Chains A and B, each alone.
Chain A
Amino acid sequence: MTLTLAGVGYRYAGASRPSLLDVDLELPDGTVVGLVGPSEAGKTTLCLVASGLAPRTVGGQIRGRILLDGEDVDAWPMHRLSARIGIGFENPATQLSQVAGTVFEEVAFGPMNLGVSRDEVVERTWEAMATMRIVDLAERDPARLSGGQQQLVAMAGLLAMRPAHLVLDEPTAQLDPAGTRLVGEAIARLAAGGASILVAEQKTDLLAEVADRVVVISDGRILFAGPADETLADPRLVEAGVAEPAPVRLRRAAEAGGVDPARLVVPVDA
């Protein structure tokens, strides 16, 4: 299963200029693609377009083609697309359904909407909660969880729909380091299980750990892209307004100070 964006451009309704221009992107099975760029680069717009929410829900005009396994999804309604492509947003509070009294019901909300059998809803729900390590929260009221816990619940809700592709827009923006690590682990496990994941993320350290490829975007265009380790070490990254991962910064600082990076030793408990 491959999600392909071919020559995609997008303009919001009423906007004077497009927010995306000629974007080509491919997400094959089991691949994590990181999306980075400065503010207003078009990351969120690309996530909305890749998930199908733009223009179906957001409005606006789209050019180019979006393909699922080679099939053009242009005429697909959102509910059909949502069973194949899941999207998670930055703000966990707005991703909660507001009709669930417990975390279990919140995670089950998506599969319940899909109309699958009750047994399957229950199975998917437990499975997704186990993946996100939130089984202990099953009985809690989702509205009374911390922001980090709510984000994990929201992601579990996406996973319970068993989409082939996941689009995550800044999923760790409101998470502490422990929550960020959990999300990173979940992304890696999902990719290992065959999902393709597009993740827009400011935390390049996280992308360095989980992404196979990284795409750098600015002004709605892809500036450059490539394997994660190469792209995240590319000097053009900083010029594009994106912070390098800590190891890259450390290596550069060592080189600038005349120290051989290979001889750097960082104490584990530092």
Chain B
Amino acid sequence: MAGRVRLNDPHPARGLPDFLGRPGPTAVHRLNPLTKATLATVTAVAAVALGGLVGPILLVSVAVLVPAAVAHVLVRLLRTALLLALPIAVSAFLVNLFFFPGAERILLRLGPITASAEGLEFALQILVRILAISGAVTLFYLTTRPADLVVDLERRGISPRAAFVANASVQTVPAMVDRAAQITAAQRARGLDTEGSLWRRIRGILPIVGPVILGSIAEVEERTMALEARGFTRPGRRTLLWAPADAGIERLARWAMVAALVALIVSRVAGIWT
């Protein structure tokens, strides 16, 4: 088009690069992102729907630990999933262990509070479910590139804005962690005490939290403008360069997982399986 920028840099003719959509290193990595998202969702919900301890433990073994081992991410998965779940898991475990209503089998008395066998059993069930959810989610993110998920969702007709929001929310966390680390270092360089007693640490958080939040808000505005300037809000379909493979067997597996989950929930609600 006349008047448009024509770059005058000679370069050899090239096609679509080979590295786009290059298969992942293991069978789990190579699964379609939607299949892995379905597996994670079904595992998390089924772990809650299944009763007792044995069911969720078996489910986690088959749907989380075995795939993680196949994908060579077992150690990272255990570390990340435990870190993710720890704050909630510990508090939920302690509350249920010591404050289980109507407990009769007392295991331990610590002044006014008592640990009961019923509380311990229920606390373990909660613990396994929390670990199942964090494990399923962690497996997904350790074996799926966010960009692949976005492309796959767009290919299926999901709005690029929705796909962008899903991806950006995940990527915001490490970005905020980086920003917090930079601000902490800058504040410490100016004499802020963020170590020592608990009270000192709490006092040290305030001058860090403000800049982290305000900086993130400013960044969101800049990102919005940059996206607008690159035509992101244009109505109509975007051009996709490639899309992750999606074999027929995977589509079948996804429907089977969803059907099994629905059957489980119905049987639990109807009292067929207790």
Contacts and interface: CB of A to CB of B under 8 A. Distances in A.
B260 to A, nearest CB: 32
A269 to B, nearest CB: 30
Interface stretch (B1-9, B49-57, B112-120, B186-194): B1-9
Nearest to A51: B229
B8 A79 contact: no
A5 B156 CA distance: 43
Contacts of A127: 7, 9, 11
Nearest to B164: A99
Contact of A130 (B11, B17, B150, B228): B11
Interface stretch (A10-18, A81-89, A211-219, A260-268): A81-89
Contacts of A98: 164, 167-168, 171, 223
B237 interface: yes
Interface string B212-224: 0000000100111
A231 interface: no
B25 interface: no
Contact of A101 (B10, B15, B148, B227): B148
B205 interface: no
Contacts of B235: 79
B197 interface: no
B97 to A, nearest CB: 42
Contact of A135 (B11, B146, B224): B11
A162 interface: yes
B4 A116 contact: no
A243 interface: no
Contact of B3 (A1, A114, A126): A1
Given A51-B229, A94-B223, A112 B238 contact: yes
A250 B274 CA distance: 88
A55 interface: no
Contact of A162 (B4, B150, B229): B4
B150 to A, nearest CB: 5
A258 interface: no
Task: State the main secondary structure of chain B at its contact with A.
Answer: loop
B222 A193 contact: no
Nearest to B14: A126
B232 interface: yes
Contacts of A118: 16, 239-241
Contacts of B164: 97-99
Contact of A192 (B4, B8, B17, B150): B8
Contact of A116 (B2, B11, B233, B239): B239
B23 to A, nearest CB: 14
B239 A94 contact: no
Given A79-B231, A79-B233, A126-B14, A164 B3 contact: yes
B69 interface: no
Contact of B234 (A79, A100, A143): A79
A129 B262 CA distance: 49
Nearest to B10: A130
A200 interface: no
Nearest to A1: B3
Contacts of B224: 57
Most buried by B among A91, A94, A127, A130: A94
B4 A115 contact: no
B226 interface: yes
A113 interface: yes
B253 interface: no
B125 to A, nearest CB: 38
A219 to B, nearest CB: 24
A53 B241 contact: no
Interface string A96-132: 1111111011001111111111100110001110110
A111 B239 contact: yes
B106 interface: no
B24 to A, nearest CB: 12
Given A53-B225, A57-B224, A116-B239, A102 B8 contact: no
Given A98-B171, A195-B5, A161 B241 contact: no
A97 B17 CA distance: 20
A29 interface: yes
A118 B1 CA distance: 18
A163 B1 CA distance: 10
A238 interface: no
Interface string B235-250: 1111111000000000
8 contacts: A94-B223, A98-B164, A105-B241, A114-B239, A115-B238, A122-B14, A122-B15, A130-B10
Given A102-B17, A138-B17, 7 more contacts: A99-B167, A111-B239, A113-B230, A114-B231, A130-B10, A163-B4, A164-B3
Interface of B: 1-11, 14-17, 19-20, 145-148, 150, 163-164, 167-168, 171, 219, 222-241
Please list the 10 inter-chain residue pairs (A to B) with the smallest Cβ-Cβ separation, ordered nearest first.
A101-B147, A79-B234, A1-B3, A113-B231, A130-B11, A94-B222, A110-B230, A195-B5, A95-B226, A131-B7
